[in-house]
Structure 1
């Protein structure tokens, strides 16, 4: 299997990078890490946010890059927090989200991977994992992992050892990896 090492994951979140690195290694892609805070526009569109971040990442790294932006979408809250997931997590946390959700606990996790290099405008790859919000925080993990239960599972992301094989991030990165390897042949 050929290995690629000419793409960098740009983020200020090392947790996202470590998950992405593990996932990409299963596709024979070595992922570099470029730690940077990126421009994050305020938008209801995850795609618009991801494109802007990818352009900013490329301008800082000067090498082919991917960025990942994600959103927790809760049905009973009209899709909230959506693209505001980081802000909501930082302000009310997992307990606050659990307290907001009454009745219908249905939710989805969206991930958007945006690739950018000197030849291309940002290209998007999306992954979605349906599930629900747990009634209590369970497991040790980062972000919303202790409260998100993927469909077909009884445990949260934080409690599932193979999270990286079923996550929204995996689904988006798998689409990117397939495209990336194909375009590098």
Structure 2
């Protein structure tokens, strides 16, 4: 079975591929020649994920899933939320985003946060949604070199290391996206 993951992010694609069984061939937007940036105009993670999955299915007639994930910080009233990727501007630069977040939290005593992920699947005109969340906190400085996005400043609850300091296998076992992906994979296996 071939399935499109609506992403241009190579780091995200490689992380997710490690979760999928070998009988599901995962392809990215780049693999199908979709160079355009699909606009994320929704007000929620679920709306954005559906927009991306539906776009690919309607324009390329291929089964597709998309995720929209973000970081919600309590001290910032849930920001950056759905604007996580473009928190510091439309250039979507992770270092700029982390710098802005750390500056906004400079005097914060409550550093609790969570990553939330919503996956929307559009397959055979059937729509399904899968969700995952991981609790944690924001560190005071970047630590680690693995992962992507806010991983160097997010420490999951129960761990001393940030996502960027954990192995991909450990991160996938506890992460928001890993939780939602396992639900998706279970559903896909039932369909096969």
TM-score by length of 1: 0.88
Once the two structures are TM-superposed, the CA of residue 103 in structure 1 deviates from its matched residue by: 1.3
Q: Determine if contact 2:46/2:119 at 8 Å carries over to the other structure.
A: no
Once residues 5 and 54 of structure 2 are traced to their aligned partners in structure 1, the CA distance between those partners, rounded to angstroms, is 13
User: Is 1:166 equivalent to 2:174 in the alignment?
Assistant: yes
Alignment coverage as a number of residue pairs: 178
CA RMSD of aligned residues (A): 1.8
Once residues 50 and 125 of structure 1 are traced to their aligned partners in structure 2, the CA distance between those partners, rounded to angstroms, is 10
Q: Structure 1 residue aligned with 2:128, among 90, 104, 123?
A: 123
Which position in structure 2 is the counterpart of 1:147? 153
Of residues 71-80 and 81-90 in structure 1, the stretch that sits farther from structure 2 once superposed is 81-90
Once the two structures are TM-superposed, the CA of residue 54 in structure 1 deviates from its matched residue by: 0.8
CA-to-aligned-CA distance 1:160-185 (integer Å, 9 cap, x gap):
0121221111000001111111122x
Matches within 5 A, 1:23-172: 23-25=19-21, 29-35=24-30, 36=34, 37-88=36-87, 90=92, 92-101=96-105, 102-120=108-126, 122-141=127-146, 142-161=148-167, 162-172=170-180
TM-score by length of 2: 0.85
Unaligned runs of 5+ in 1: none
Of residues 83-92 and 9-18 in structure 1, the stretch that sits farther from structure 2 once superposed is 83-92
Unaligned runs of 5+ in 2: none
Once residues 2 and 23 of structure 2 are traced to their aligned partners in structure 1, the CA distance between those partners, rounded to angstroms, is 12
